[in-house]
Amino acid sequence: MSDKSVGLVVVSHSRALARAAVALAQEMLHGKQIRISVAAGLDETTFGTDAAAIVDAITAADRGDGVVVLMDLGSAVLSAELACELLDDDVRDRVRLCPAPLVEGLVVAAVVAAGGATVDEVAAEATGALAGKIGHLGPAPVAAVADEPDGVDEVSGAFVVANPHGLHARPAARLVQEVRRRDARARIRNRSTDSGWVDAGSLSKLATLGVRCGDEVEVRVSGSQAAETLDHVLALAGRHFDESLTAPTPSVAEPTVAHAPIGAGPGLGIGPAHSARLAAVEVPDVPAEEPAVEWRRLSKAIAGVRRTISQLRTTTAREVGETEAAIFDAHQLLLDDDALLTAVRERVDGGMSAPAAWSAAIDDLAAEFDGVPDPYLRARAEDVRAVGEQVLRAMLGTATTTSTLAGVLIATDLTPAEAAELDPTQVAAVLLAFGSPHAHNVILLRAKGIPVIVGAGPTVLTIPDGTVIAVDGTRGEFVVDPPPNVRQDFAARVAALAQRQSNAMARAAEPAVTRDGVTVGVGANIGSVDDARAAAAQGADFAGLVRTEFLFLGRQDAPDVEEQFAVYRKIAESLDGRRITLRTLDVGGDKPLEFLPTAAEVNPFLGVRGIRLSLAHPDLLADQLLAMVRLAEQTPVSVMFPMVSTLDELLSGRRLLDEAVARSGRGRPAGLQVGMMVEVPAAALKAAAFTRHVDFFSIGTNDLTQYALAADRNNDAVATIGDTFDPGLLALIRATCRGAAGQATVSVCGEFAADERAVALLLGMGVDSLSVTPPAIPATKEAARAVDVDEARLLAEQVLALDGAAAVRDRLG
């Protein structure tokens, strides 16, 4: 490769697609080398484009003779334009954004660049890349583009939205992502309200339709991939946009205050009050510079905010979950919204400064949301304003974060981004006037170990900064400016709790041995390699649950055996040879796979999920089991089947495992164990029938509770019914232990295992080990050390005879 030649950059929504296109182009060079950089996807599996990544790719490809940038479709073009605005003037002059089709254009551009052509020659040749096809097949008919679809060369369909809050942020974001993935132009309207047609690839335009639960939506698609796009959109709508119909959602814009504050995050905290809300941003009244300068200023701010949101999404997915992290997809799409950016650019070209133009466009868009009749959709105006403020602060150099705040934070509510940035070593507690205990921000705060109270009422917003507040996030109680004796008592409680936590952490690596000498294994529930490292640092004795579905969700194809084996091995290495329990794929129903479309189910929790889905697709399960068997040749591995209801299901899974052992060609590994989840009441009651075929049971109390008590754990209306302390549920746990009869071990891996009040009760019923989230390991071990198993058995007998969960809690103190 010569030092002086034209470089190429491939911008695509898909990293896999970009790499394949580059590989094809390189095949045409017959050994010649040119610089081809790729800026594709937000990560290995997430579709999207990033202007900052494109800047890096251009910089890497540029050696002074220029760079030709080829893009796939839609927002890739917009991102490339934004990237150019971020470049220095001398570099920008050498860059050509090429309108050529990605694959054909890249092949031609690579060949011409390898021959020493100039940057303009490369761009021109690539632009003519379709000449051969056109000469052979003739030109494609050109359809007029109008606001109203004209029905020519279009496909159309309709669907009824069943999501409780209509097309709010998350389902709308999923729809936009689906539309933007293909070479198609989709238009959509709300047939129920007889709305006009809008671009289905624009998040802001979708919101103006005000699509509510029960509304009928019509969609029309044109373009080379129109039929495929329509099929995927209708399938997505049939899956309710991958959102559970009973899933909790954030509180609406017009919140109602609970009769009493709700303890949403356990723990104690005391400290000075501080407002978590930043002062309003003032747009300076200064003359605008040249439009190109102002647009570059905005582009740089958007790129920085996009990177920040991407980092927050990654953190949230790791610490809380993929579902919760999906809210940031809507924020990313808003930054990439053609309608919004076009409105801003028109203002900039008209002589407005970038901050003023951005602020005005955001206000207009938020006003459109404000005008939507549905109160939940109307609440999305706050999302628009929050993202708009992030960009505005970045432009004005006043960008700051909640990460610098300390004490007891008081706010109307927090955005997920604000919650994600809070430092648990600085923030004593969070006191929210409104909010929901199941909202994204609160879930994230709980994961960070920050005490939280929601629904504290609007009067807390009048508490002056600096006022001392004592917060009990477990009981939902707080005291403003407590008198000296109360302050002293509370501070002592906080100190005692901190000391207990410190003592527990100091002994975390030691075994948990009860007062009468019984060793209780305390493992970790993990969903990533990072979780495994955290578990090791917290003293986990083993991994009691590895949620392998993190490898399968959010991607277009299944991971092969090699990829699975590599990730499982990293988890094992992070735990230094401790036993790891790999649960086979637990998806389906409420957790669909993109690469394995399934029919929508009226009640997905009672549908095709867990082992049922895996047995329906045995090749998928066979590959996963082979990866697990290969790992078991190197480290102790327990294979665990989820959602088992019948003996036939278990035996079918075991047969596939035996076949995987045969495929490995090395015989059954000595450290390989086999077990099953107990999440269905019938499985608990007939545990003895399963015992002859397993080495262990692992009780998933989250699902077992909702199935035993007929109370959806995501439905706030029945939250008090679905109580794991219910004697009926406890009887199922004891039935499992009795069915195991000492021939198989019993572990509990649901959230119940991390409740310190429940540890003695579980050990008294016959549970052998516990598996909890990594941060809960030290405290769970300490709780086990305080137990006398003989006394715990008597306690269990007494508790099982009680009449309800409240009585059980009272008995446990």
Q: Catalytic residue numbers?
A: 440, 749
Amino acid at 641: F
Reduced to 3 states (helix: H, G, I; strand: E, B; else coil), residue 188 is: strand
Nearest alpha carbon to residue 538 among 483, 501, 497: 501
Structural contact between residues 330 and 309, judged by C-beta atoms closer than 8 angstroms: no
Question: What's the alpha-carbon Rg for the chain, to the nearest Å?
Answer: 29
Distance CA 224, CA 745 (A): 57
Distances (CA, A) of 568 to 277, 583, 674: 42, 11, 17
Q: Order of strands, edge to edge, in the sheet holding 262-265?
A: 262-265, 452-454, 427-432, 407-411, 268-275, 468-472, 477-480
* 8 Å CB contact between 778 and 731: no
Which DSSP state fits 732? H
DSSP character for 767? -
Is residue 347 within 8 A of residue 225, CB to CB? The reply is no
Phi and psi angles of residue 609, each rounded to the nearest 5 degrees, phi first: -145, 165
Q: Take residue 217 and report the two structure tokens written for it.
A: 């939506």
User: How far is 145 from 391, CA to CA, in rounded Å?
Assistant: 32
Q: Which residue has 């927050």 as its token pair? A: 312
For residues 798 and 542, give the distance between their C-alpha atoms in angstroms, rounded to a whole number: 32
CA 4 vs CA 28, 67, 115, 436, 437: distances in Å: 20, 11, 12, 60, 60
3-class secondary structure, 551: helix
Q: Which two tokens stand for residue 170?
A: 């998350």
Indicate the length of the chain as a whole number.
Answer: 813
Burial 713-736 (b: 16+ CB within 10 A, else e): bbbeeeeeebbbbbeebbbbbbbb
- Tell me 437's DSSP state: T
Phi-psi region of 274 (alpha: psi -120 to 50; beta: other; left: phi over 0): beta
Provide the token pair at 664: 């490995």
What DSSP line would sit under 362-423, residue for residue? HHHHHHHHHT-SSHHHHTTHHHHHHHHHHHHHHHHT----GGG--EEEEES---HHHHHH--
Consecutive H or E run containing 198: strand 198-199
Determine the number of helices (DSSP H) and then strands (DSSP E) in the chain.
Answer: 33, 24
Residue that has been written with the tokens 């899933």 in this structure? 247
Four-residue CA torsion sign, 757, 760, 764, 770: positive
Which amino acid would we find at residue 180? Answer: R
CA angle 189, 156, 150 (to 5 degrees): 75
Measured between alpha carbons, how far apart are the two ends of the chain, in Å? 75
C-alpha to C-alpha distance for 805 and 263, rounded to whole angstroms: 18
Nearest-angstrom CA–CA distance, 442 and 451 = 10
Residue 473 CB contacts under 8 Å (≥ 6 apart), including other chains: 263, 264, 265, 266, 267, 268, 269, 429, 451, 452, 453
